[in-house]
Amino acid sequence: MGTIKLGIVDDHKIFRNGLKATLEDFKDFDLVLEASNGKELMGLLTTQTPDVLLMDIKMPEMDGIQTTAFVHQNYKNIKILALSMFNEDKYIVDMMKAGASGYLLKNAEPEEIIEAVSTVHSKGFYFNEHLSITLIKQLVGNDHAENIAQNKADLNEREVEVLKLVCQEYSNQEIADKIFLSVRTVEGYRARLFEKTGSKNLVGLVIYAIKRGIINVV
């Protein structure tokens, strides 16, 4: 793994300093920017482009949900890992809908934060236990899930196979190795899955797969 360029967006300086102290001890991380809100981040992104952003939710000027949506739309290669004191499902869902690729509570252990950053960088997403539970809860009474369920996607056998592996959090390389395809071919399948299911991100794919009975919820 090469060096991962990081950015921290949080309005509490004490928390930012503590997080920096944790991350700077890890030699594969390079902290390239920090901001106290979304508006400040927008200016910094014109000169620095991190690989992963650690994003607070509740901030003045421009909160984490608005900022995540902006970054997701304008800097598609940046992965966003939401950090918050809140563990209510609404915040998790809103951040994931806006384009976040993972979610952690601020009281997470340093080892989990490091694992989450590394995983979201290498695989494009990070699921912890609480986020998986949240996805399951989206099966009832959520407009996003219902819209996906109404999509009459016709997936062939290979696409279903790839979708199952994607939902098990395998990377493109791991999927390619498992089903004896090239990484580029797997990337093509993944792109078609997004198009056919009408999903905008991995959360959408998982919800679609659960709604259609393609994967089972334990």
> How does the average pLDDT of the chain come out, rounded?
85
Query: What CA–CA distance (Å, rounded) separates 33 from 175?
Result: 34
Q: Which is more confident, 39 or 134? A: 39
- Domain containing residue 180: 138-211
In the predicted structure, residue 149 carries a pLDDT above the cut 80: no
Tell me what the mean pLDDT of segment 40-51 comes to: 95
In the predicted structure, residue 47 carries a pLDDT above the cut 50: yes
Whichever domain contains 102, its CATH number is: 3.40.50.2300
Residue 81 φ then ψ, to 5°:
-115, 110
In the predicted structure, residue 151 carries a pLDDT above the cut 60: no
Do residues 80 and 150 both lie within one domain? Answer: no
Which stretches of 103-182 are DSSP H helices?
110-123, 129-137, 143-150, 157-167, 172-179
Res 1: pLDDT: 56
Res 27: pLDDT: 86
Do residues 207 and 103 both lie within one domain? Answer: no
The total number of structural domains in the chain stands at 2
Does residue 217 lie within any of the structural domains?
no
Tell me what the mean pLDDT of segment 4-30 comes to: 91
In the predicted structure, residue 4 carries a pLDDT above the cut 80: yes
The answer for 180, left when phi > 0, alpha when psi is -120 to 50, beta otherwise, is: left
Whichever domain contains 169, its CATH number is: 1.10.10.10
Q: Say what percent of the chain tops pLDDT 70.
A: 87
Query: What CA–CA distance (Å, rounded) separates 27 from 190?
Result: 32
pLDDT in tens, 59-103: 999 999 999 999 999 998 999 999 888 777 778 888 888 999 888
Res 106: pLDDT: 87
In the predicted structure, residue 134 carries a pLDDT above the cut 70: no
Res 147: pLDDT: 46
Does residue 133 lie within any of the structural domains?
no
